Amino acid sequence: MDAPRRIQLHADDNVAIVVNAGGLPAGTEFEDGLVLTERVPQGHKVALEDIAAGAPVIRYGEMIGAADRDLPRGSWIDEFKIRVPAPPALDALPLATRVPQPLPPLEGFSFDGYRNADGTVGTRNVLGISTSVQCVAGTVDVVVRLIRERLLPKYPNVDDVVGLNHLYGCGVAINAPAAVIPIRSLQNLALNPNFGGEIMVIGLGCEKLLPERLLPQGVNGDGSVLRMQDERFQGFEAMIEEILVMADNRLAQLNTRKRQTCPASDLVVGTQCGGSDSFSGVTANPAVGFCSDLLVRAGATVMFSEVTEVRDAVHLLTPRCATPDVARALIREMDWYDRYLQSGGADRAANPSPGNKTGGLANVVEKAMGSIAKSGTTAIVDVLAPGERVRRRGLIFAATPASDFVCGTMQVASGITLQVFTTGRGTPYGLSMVPVIKMATRKELSARWHDLIDIDAGRIASGEKTVEEVGWELFQLILDTASGRVRPWSDRWGLYNALAVFNPAPVT
Ligand code: CA
């Protein structure tokens, strides 16, 4: 068996996690004399000292809970032995009190992207078909198939066609306050830089969300919107033929797009984690955080999200906000989500999942400490409400649910052109609109899922690579992927999840 290996992240921590695959048996003795009093699974916590009942359990230098009973040195600490603390109060947080100084600029990095008229830069050249109501989803599926068969072969510079199908539009309380979220998300999805500004909308005709509302201000609906209920159509085939004509016009425009060298500052990269384990905060997320710093130093935009996985670490983030106003915006999003969960009779403890716990994460506090590592160390310069479009460069908090599919969809609406996704347990996640680079937290997962995982951060836990080395690898992989030189596994398989627009408003 390999020598027993554990990782203690912070000098103040009174727990460490076991690295060895399969965990370690009772009686295992570490080099420094620590002996396990019971079996500890991989990724799970071992007490480094005697922790008395009620005393804090500390990981990441932060209290992740209070000991539920006496925890002797060498014992296994699972979710049942820690009591979850209350989340940080939102009314007394420090605002912009420890704003990080800018890091030295990183010059000379570029990628080959598609520059748009509005100044944004895409990483792909895709025809997006927007929809105003779920009723047309089946029609859009038919049309997408026909476009692939009949039209795409004529336009070699266009990568793909994507239907923006969703579950909104009909049977919704369109004027409810929270309806602003799904509506602006659908509006902004169609504006994603990868669609090149060639917007077309398929609607039904009787839906509450009028198709015209999905067009940007100033764009004429003529030739951009098709309603299936229009009386001029005799039969389904006539509608399909007209949609194909609309698509053909847009494909001809998209086909004129050419990749050109763009500075790395034109990248908008989203980060999220899914199927996390206790290595997420040790290997993959810190490597993503280091890479986030590199991207910000290069002038690019980086988003982190997932409100319930940030909530318990918010006291570490508000001091990092560039101004008190940005910090207040962050608090506003946390408060909104607290009330949203409360209205549904839930709280943040609904996260983590059973798989997270199997992977060693005892509770949402421990998960949050690992999750925010993705944000790196730079100042948070802006906060976006769910589905708002990005409006400045640098590190941004884009408020979204932590659900992988909702977070992904909302980040695409906010304008990401590439996403980095970290996973410990493994998930076959992918987005059809933007490339997704999947990074595993453990070597075992990278080996088993060798044709799904793009980059292995498990080499950090094994000591083969440093966080910085993997962070640089990721940075280079982002530039290559954004340039179309490397296709991540989800694109090679065509492995894509459906859009999942966040709708906190009532359904009627
Ligand atoms: Ca997630």
Give the domain CATH number at 1: 2.30.130.110
For residue 155, report the distance from its CA to the centre of ligand 1, in Å: 35
Tell me which residue has tokens 């990248």. 267
For residue 44, report the distance from its CA to the centre of ligand 1, in Å: 21
User: To the nearest whole percent, how much of the chain has pLDDT over 90?
Assistant: 94
For residue 433, report the distance from its CA to the centre of ligand 1, in Å: 18
pLDDT at 71 over 70: yes
Last residue of a domain, one of 230, 254, 278: 254
State the average pLDDT for the chain. 96
For residue 339, report the distance from its CA to the centre of ligand 1, in Å: 20
Angle at 147 between CA 251 and CA 480, to 5 degrees: 60
Range 433-438 average pLDDT: 98
For residue 20, report the distance from its CA to the centre of ligand 1, in Å: 26
Tell me which residue has tokens 């079996």. 39
Q: What span, in angstroms and rounded, lies between the C-alpha atoms of 375 and 356?
A: 20
For residue 403, report the distance from its CA to the centre of ligand 1, in Å: 5
For residue 361, report the distance from its CA to the centre of ligand 1, in Å: 15
Residue 340 contacts residue 348 (beta carbons within 8 Å): no
For residue 422, report the distance from its CA to the centre of ligand 1, in Å: 9
For residue 308, report the distance from its CA to the centre of ligand 1, in Å: 10
In 3D, which of 37, 45, 32, 44 has the Cα closest to residue 3?
A: 32
Last residue of a domain, one of 203, 223, 254: 254
Same-domain check for residues 82 and 145? no
In 3D, which of 281, 288, 269 has the Cα closest to residue 310?
A: 281
Same-domain check for residues 288 and 201? no
In a domain, 439, yes or no: yes
For residue 306, report the distance from its CA to the centre of ligand 1, in Å: 6
Where residue 220 falls among pLDDT bands split at 50, 70, 90? confident
Q: SS3 of 19, please?
A: coil
- Residue 222: predicted pLDDT: 78
User: To the nearest whole percent, how much of the chain has pLDDT over 70?
Assistant: 100
Same-domain check for residues 243 and 333? no
In a domain, 498, yes or no: no
For residue 329, report the distance from its CA to the centre of ligand 1, in Å: 21
Same-domain check for residues 29 and 53? yes
For residue 504, report the distance from its CA to the centre of ligand 1, in Å: 17
For residue 409, report the distance from its CA to the centre of ligand 1, in Å: 11
For residue 356, report the distance from its CA to the centre of ligand 1, in Å: 11
**For the segment 287-333, what is each residue's pLDDT rounded down to a tens digit?**
999 999 999 999 999 999 999 999 999 999 999 999 999 999 999 99
- Domain housing 3: 1-86
Same-domain check for residues 300 and 419? yes
For residue 423, report the distance from its CA to the centre of ligand 1, in Å: 9
pLDDT at 1 over 90: no
For residue 175, report the distance from its CA to the centre of ligand 1, in Å: 29
Same-domain check for residues 241 and 274? no
Same-domain check for residues 371 and 431? yes
Q: What span, in angstroms and rounded, lies between the C-alpha atoms of 336 and 329?
A: 10
219: left (phi over 0), alpha (psi -120 to 50) or beta: beta
Same-domain check for residues 189 and 277? no
For residue 96, report the distance from its CA to the centre of ligand 1, in Å: 27
What total number of domains does the chain contain? 3
Q: What is the pTM assigned to this prediction?
A: 0.95
- Greatest alpha-carbon pair distance for the chain in Å reads 83
Under DSSP, the state recorded for 133 is S
What single letter denotes the amino acid at residue 302?
Answer: V
For residue 223, report the distance from its CA to the centre of ligand 1, in Å: 38
What single letter denotes the amino acid at residue 482?
Answer: A
Burial tier of 52 (Cβ tally within 10 Å: 0-12, 13-18, 19+): exposed
Q: What span, in angstroms and rounded, lies between the C-alpha atoms of 294 and 317?
A: 19
pLDDT at 390 over 80: yes
- Residue 204: predicted pLDDT: 97
In 3D, which of 411, 414, 398, 404 has the Cα closest to residue 496?
A: 404
Q: What span, in angstroms and rounded, lies between the C-alpha atoms of 281 and 239?
A: 51
In 3D, which of 400, 224, 376 has the Cα closest to residue 310?
A: 400
In a domain, 262, yes or no: no
In 3D, which of 29, 232, 195, 23 has the Cα closest to residue 120?
A: 195
CB atoms within 10 A of CB 381: 18
Same-domain check for residues 280 and 240? no
Range 170-194 average pLDDT: 96
Phi, psi of 171 (to 5 degrees): 65, 35
Same-domain check for residues 293 and 361? yes
In a domain, 94, yes or no: no
Last residue of a domain, one of 39, 69, 86: 86
**For the segment 247-298, what is each residue's pLDDT rounded down to a tens digit?**
999 999 999 999 999 999 999 999 999 989 999 999 999 999 999 999 999 9
Q: What span, in angstroms and rounded, lies between the C-alpha atoms of 201 and 67?
A: 56
**Which of 190-204, 343-357, 451-465 is predicted with the least confidence, judged by mean pLDDT?**
343-357
Both tokens of residue 404?
Answer: 């992988």
For residue 273, report the distance from its CA to the centre of ligand 1, in Å: 5
In a domain, 508, yes or no: no
- Residue 138: predicted pLDDT: 98
Same-domain check for residues 467 and 329? yes
For residue 399, report the distance from its CA to the centre of ligand 1, in Å: 12
Where residue 352 falls among pLDDT bands split at 50, 70, 90? confident
Both tokens of residue 3?
Answer: 């020598």
For residue 272, report the distance from its CA to the centre of ligand 1, in Å: 5
Residue 273 contacts residue 421 (beta carbons within 8 Å): yes
For residue 484, report the distance from its CA to the centre of ligand 1, in Å: 25
For residue 70, report the distance from its CA to the centre of ligand 1, in Å: 34
In a domain, 408, yes or no: yes
For residue 229, give the CATH number of its domain.
3.40.50
For residue 442, report the distance from its CA to the centre of ligand 1, in Å: 17
Both tokens of residue 123?
Answer: 């990483």
In a domain, 507, yes or no: no
Segment holding 160, helix H or strand E: strand 160-164
Give every CB contact of residue 311 below 8 A, 6+ residues apart in sequence. Answer: 87, 334, 337, 338, 348, 364, 368
Radius of gyration of the chain (CA): 24
How far does CA 84 lie from the centroid of its chain?
25
Range 200-222 average pLDDT: 88
For residue 490, report the distance from its CA to the centre of ligand 1, in Å: 17
For residue 58, report the distance from its CA to the centre of ligand 1, in Å: 24
Q: What span, in angstroms and rounded, lies between the C-alpha atoms of 12 and 8?
A: 9
Q: What span, in angstroms and rounded, lies between the C-alpha atoms of 131 and 110?
A: 34
For residue 499, report the distance from its CA to the centre of ligand 1, in Å: 14
**For the segment 7-65, what is each residue's pLDDT rounded down to a tens digit?**
999 999 999 999 999 999 999 999 999 999 999 999 999 999 999 999 999 999 999 99
In a domain, 504, yes or no: no
- Residue 307: predicted pLDDT: 97
Q: SS3 of 313, please?
A: helix
Q: SS3 of 503, please?
A: coil
Q: What span, in angstroms and rounded, lies between the C-alpha atoms of 289 and 66?
A: 28
Same-domain check for residues 447 and 479? yes
For residue 257, report the distance from its CA to the centre of ligand 1, in Å: 33
